[in-house]
């Protein structure tokens, strides 16, 4: 009954089109490779259509053609039922992306903000029930984590700093698949840091496969990671694959390209 109710809840997905400057994106752990922008735009269109097929209503943020990474809207906010926290991205080139996100979110929720010297990327925040695990990464600092805790503790949430290594964001290393599964790359994070969740490791040949997006009862998985998809299926997870390979070249994953409200 609970699962069916969860699937029935409306989900609003904030998304933004691919910038024509995507090839000039920020990169930390990947070598720069040629990105076919038109193919990336096609893949993003398929991604947004997949969100709609899973019951999401899309709300398109204003395009930011001069911001190479602006399609990766997840990094600009942390969204909860009670409020939204607009972040201060750790890459200075991305800090101009947040104003339009704050404006859009304010139509739906109270909005608070991370301020200097705090830095926080939404891709470093993994919510499991009332706990938010926050990756202490190159893009998220201790002040940003402390500010997030101060904003959320009055609403009954716990914010826990989490160590990671070898990847850009916490959600590069793991994702939560309800009700109790943590898909992870144990080379990048310690799954024991996540309490009683059942850990499932990605295939060793697919180190970036841990970033998945679950909406209702379906988990979206990148088509680039068939071995990990097989592991999920064997664990009883209902999966749907989607091709986003050009966006992977910009260190993007499935959670990166939307901000979900509701559900």
Mention every residue, 6+ apart, whose C-beta is less than 8 A from residue 132. 78, 125, 126, 148, 152, 157, 158, 159, 160
Catalytic residue check, 29:
no
* Spatial distance between the Cα atoms of 146 and 138, rounded to a whole number of angstroms: 16
Give the structural domain span for 178: 2-262
pLDDT at 30: 84
Q: Which one is catalytic: 44, 67, 169, 248?
A: 169
pLDDT at 9: 58
Q: What is the pLDDT of residues 196-218, one digit of tens each?
A: 899 999 999 999 999 999 999 99
Rounded distance between C-alpha atoms, residue 25 and residue 259, angstroms: 20
pTM of the model as a whole: 0.94
* CATH number, residue 48: 3.75.10.10
C-alpha span between 75 and 53 (Å, rounded): 24
Q: Which of 56, 119, 174, 256 is catalytic?
A: 256
The predicted-structure confidence for 81-117, as pLDDT tens digits, reads as follows 999 999 999 999 999 999 999 999 999 999 999 999 9
Per-residue model confidence (pLDDT) at position 49: 98
Say if residues 48 and 56 touch (Cβ distance below 8 Å): no
Which token pair is 252?
Answer: 């993007």
Comparing CA positions, the residue from 100, 98, 102 lying closest to residue 88 is 98
Alpha carbons 77 and 89: distance in angstroms, whole number: 9
Number of domains into which the chain is organized: 1
- Secondary structure in 3-state letters for 65-129: CCCCCCCCHHHHEEECCCCEEECCCCCHHHHHHHHHHHHHHCCCCCEEECCCCCCCCHHHEEEEC
CA distances from residue 95 to 8, 86, 107, 167, 259 in whole angstroms, order as listed: 35, 11, 21, 21, 17
The DSSP call for residue 210 is T
What string of pLDDT tens digits covers the 263 residues of the chain?
333 333 445 799 999 999 999 999 998 888 899 999 999 999 999 999 999 999 999 999 999 999 999 999 999 999 999 999 999 999 999 999 999 999 999 999 999 999 999 999 999 999 999 999 999 999 999 999 999 999 999 999 999 999 999 999 999 999 999 999 999 999 999 999 998 899 999 999 999 999 999 999 999 999 999 999 999 999 999 999 999 999 999 999 999 999 999 86
Beta bridge partners of 158: 131
- Mark whether 256 is an active-site residue: yes
């Amino acid at each position: 009954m609970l699962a069916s109710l969860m699937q029935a809840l409306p989900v609003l997905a904030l998304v933004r089109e691919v910038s024509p400057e995507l090839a000039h994106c920020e990169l930390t752990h990947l070598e720069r490779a040629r990105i076919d922008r038109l193919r990336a735009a096609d893949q993003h269109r398929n991604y947004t259509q997949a969100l709609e097929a899973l019951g999401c209503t899309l709300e398109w943020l204003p395009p930011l053609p001069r911001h190479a990474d602006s399609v990766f809207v997840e990094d600009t906010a942390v969204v909860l039922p009670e409020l939204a926290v607009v972040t201060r991205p750790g890459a200075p080139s991305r800090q101009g992306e947040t104003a339009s996100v704050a404006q859009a979110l304010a139509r739906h929720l109270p909005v608070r903000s991370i301020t200097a010297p705090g830095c926080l990327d939404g891709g470093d925040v993994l919510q499991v029930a009332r706990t938010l695990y926050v990756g202490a990464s190159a893009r998220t600092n201790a002040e940003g984590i402390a500010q997030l805790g101060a904003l959320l503790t009055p609403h009954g949430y716990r914010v826990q700093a989490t160590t990671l290594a070898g990847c850009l964001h916490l959600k590069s290393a793991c994702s939560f698949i309800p009700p109790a599964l943590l898909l992870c790359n144990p080379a990048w994070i310690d799954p024991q840091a996540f309490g009683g969740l059942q850990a499932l490791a990605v295939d060793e040949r697919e180190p970036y496969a841990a970033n998945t997006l679950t909406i209702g009862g379906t988990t979206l998985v990148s088509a680039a990671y068939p071995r990990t998809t097989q592991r999920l299926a064997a664990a009883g997870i209902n999966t749907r694959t989607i091709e986003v390979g050009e966006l992977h070249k910009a260190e993007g994953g499935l959670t990166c390209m939307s901000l979900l409200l509701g559900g």
